[in-house]
Structure 1
Amino acid sequence: MRQERRHGLSAEQKSEIWRRWKAGESLHAIGRAFDKDHGSIQFLLSKHGGIAPAVRRRSQRTLTLAEREEISRGIASGSSIREIARGLERTASTVSREVARHGGRLMYRASEADQRAWRSALRPKPCRLAHHRKLRLIVAGKLIRDWSPQQIS
């Protein structure tokens, strides 16, 4: 009997699966190539309707890892937010928000900030009611009392 594995696929493996799928390989053949059940391959492909998702790219406006490292070095050297921003040719508010968002001057780490920013940019975002039980109960209660969405907001 085949042993079950719960290992995910790397980005490179997923890319290769999409390439093979586009080339016309069967689910069984792709599954054998990755030592996965064809159902796992089908699940991956069906999440996107059989069409390969666009490669994630960072917006030109977001801070890069190099800029975040420069912020970290500036903080370590005792530079002010304005001095750091001037060196990056960014506004002081951008640098200030970045530092505040990722732990402040004492806790800021460039690589951690970059990873968090990349994860938080994922779309679609779950709605607020899905994560906040108390808010969900309040909204549901008001809807039961025939409040309009405008009145609730």
Structure 2
Amino acid sequence: MGYIRWGVAGSFLIAAWGLGLTGVSIASGNYGGRSDNSVEAELYREECGACHLAYPARMLPVDSWTEIMATLEDHFDENAEVSDETATMINAYLTDKAGKPGRGMLKRVKQDIPLRITELPYFVHEHDDVPVRLVRGNDEVGSFSNCNACHQRAENGDFDEDSVRIPGYGRWDD
């Protein structure tokens, strides 16, 4: 009977250890970010990252990415058109990796198609205590959409608040 107890206890310890490692990865905000080296992912980072942070696809649902890719001729008041082939490849990547409504950052998203990450309820909640003067009034930041100005590992898909450094202010601690 003692061997059975040790076996059960050992199984629980191994399971807890595995779940603990998963929790560390999730808590750190590292959801894979740059680990996708597919042609489509590289193309997305190259084309979209030429003008702004290539936001992790999980930050918006499929319908949002589809709408954004369909209106590149007026992409937030800029013409961001790419060739049809490039658009098709980027759209395939974004819709494949898109966030799932009701989960993660998209937990409280209404039925409307969100086009701005900065308007997501989760984003607003996470940034509501950051004084606007430290962002919009800061020439080195300029906008809440300029994630990588403050989030040191944003390019890797890591938005952990422990790595936030606001230019001209320093480490942010809420």
Where on the TM-score scale, by shorter chain, does this alignment land: which range? under 0.3
TM-score by length of 1: 0.26
Q: Could you say which structure has the greater relative contact order, defined with CA pairs below 8 angstroms and 6 or more residues apart?
A: 2
Which entry has the higher C-alpha Rg, 1 or 2?
Answer: 1
TM-score (norm 2): 0.24
